[in-house]
Amino acid sequence: MKSLIKKPSAWIPIVLPLIFFVYLVTYISMFGIVRQEDEGTGAHLFQLWLALEPFMLGFFAFKWFSSARKETLIILAIQIAVALLPISVVFSLGL
């Protein structure tokens, strides 16, 4: 059996939060914290990702837990930890 991390349902929920984290760090380092009435495209994409992330994690857990429990739990823990990176930045700065 191939490694479970090579499956798209495993690595996509890891890559997307990393992209948002890099975007947040880059944006804050370049422009600082800017408060505007219109949130902008980045904020709307973040909100969409925030709504879809639990479904992606749930799909991964539902699909792979019965066949590879230990590996699924390890990858699920990584997915959750990586998802908390951009969430913690946004909520700690009150953006």
Q: pLDDT digits over 4-43, tens only?
A: 989 999 999 999 999 999 998 998 899 888 777 777 888 8
Residue 53 within any structural domain of the chain: yes
61: amino acid identity, one letter: A
Residue 34 lies in a domain: no
In a domain, 86, yes or no: yes
Task: State the maximum Cα–Cα separation within the chain, in Å, rounded to a whole number.
Answer: 51
In a domain, 4, yes or no: no
Question: Which domain, by its residues, includes 23?
Answer: 10-29+39-93
Number of structural domains found in the chain: 1
**Angstrom distance (rounded) from CA 4 to CA 23:** 27
Model confidence, pTM:
0.86
Residue 89 lies in a domain: yes
Interval 65-80 mean pLDDT: 94
